Amino acid sequence: MVELATSFDSIYDIFFKRVINDPDFFGYTNVPDVETLELMKANAFDYMIESISTVYEFCTPTVDFNDYDTVVEEFGFDFTKTEIQIFANLMFEKFLSRDYAKLKIFEKHFTQNEIKMFSPAQERKTFVDMLSKITQRNISTLKSYGSRDRITNALLSYNVNDL
């Protein structure tokens, strides 16, 4: 029997499509394309590893997401399409959270008048609201994922006497 695996690239590809217009993520000047791809993958890997912790924070998966090999860059089992999407969404949240952290630092170092000059309050509020919605949607998705069979998507049932 051939054991299936999921490459990191299959998750990265979905994630990269979400952040493709961000110049900080893709905008490496005077860097060869091969090195740019390596830098992008290194950042994406960090987001992916952070996402593993988030999965375990909100549900108890029936597979071990810590079963991965950094040499061959793959997980030791076959992800479902849902799991790939969950990871890409969580990685996007982690990516945006970095900007949120920058925004908080920015707010602490400048007066309100200086902040208004560089970053209108409505834009900041819109960004914070968007990040909050993404975070809540990810939490909801993880709770739903944890309550379903990963292959059939059927709700898991528990025997009350076993609890």
- Quickly list DSSP for 112-149: HHHHHHHS-HHHHHHHHHHHHHHHHHHHHHHHHHHTB-
Q: What is the mean pLDDT of residues 13-22?
A: 88
Whether 1 is in a domain gets the answer: no
Within 10 angstroms of residue 144's Cβ, the number of other Cβ atoms is 14
**pLDDT given for residue 51 in this prediction:** 98
Domain around 66: 6-162
Measured CA to CA, the distance from residue 141 to residue 144 in angstroms comes to 5
- Entry pTM: 0.84
* Neighbour-count burial of 14, counting CB atoms closer than 10 A to its CB (0-12 exposed, 13-18 middle, 19+ buried): middle
Whether 48 is in a domain gets the answer: yes
Sequence-distant (≥ 6) Cβ neighbours of residue 12 within 8 angstroms: 40, 41, 44, 48
Measured CA to CA, the distance from residue 92 to residue 78 in angstroms comes to 21
Q: What is the mean pLDDT of residues 89-101?
A: 89
Whether 54 is in a domain gets the answer: yes
Whether 27 is in a domain gets the answer: yes
Whether 13 is in a domain gets the answer: yes
Give residue 31's pLDDT band: very low, low, confident or very high (50, 70, 90): confident
Asked if residue 66 has pLDDT above 90, the reply is yes
Whether 105 is in a domain gets the answer: yes
Q: What is the mean pLDDT of residues 21-43?
A: 78
Write out pLDDT tens, residues 114-145: 555 555 666 778 888 999 999 999 999 999 99
**Structural domains counted in the chain:** 1
For residue 103, which phi and psi values (nearest 5 degrees)? -65, -40
Give residue 6's pLDDT band: very low, low, confident or very high (50, 70, 90): very high
Whether 141 is in a domain gets the answer: yes
Given a contact cutoff of 8 angstroms between Cβ atoms, the answer to whether 7 and 87 are in contact is no
Interior/surface letters 95-128, b for 16+ CB within 10 angstroms, e for the rest: bbeeebeebeeeeeeeeeeebeeeeeeeebeeee
Residue whose entry in the numeric block shows the structure tokens 């593993």: 52
Sequence-distant (≥ 6) Cβ neighbours of residue 150 within 8 angstroms: 61, 62, 63, 80, 82, 83
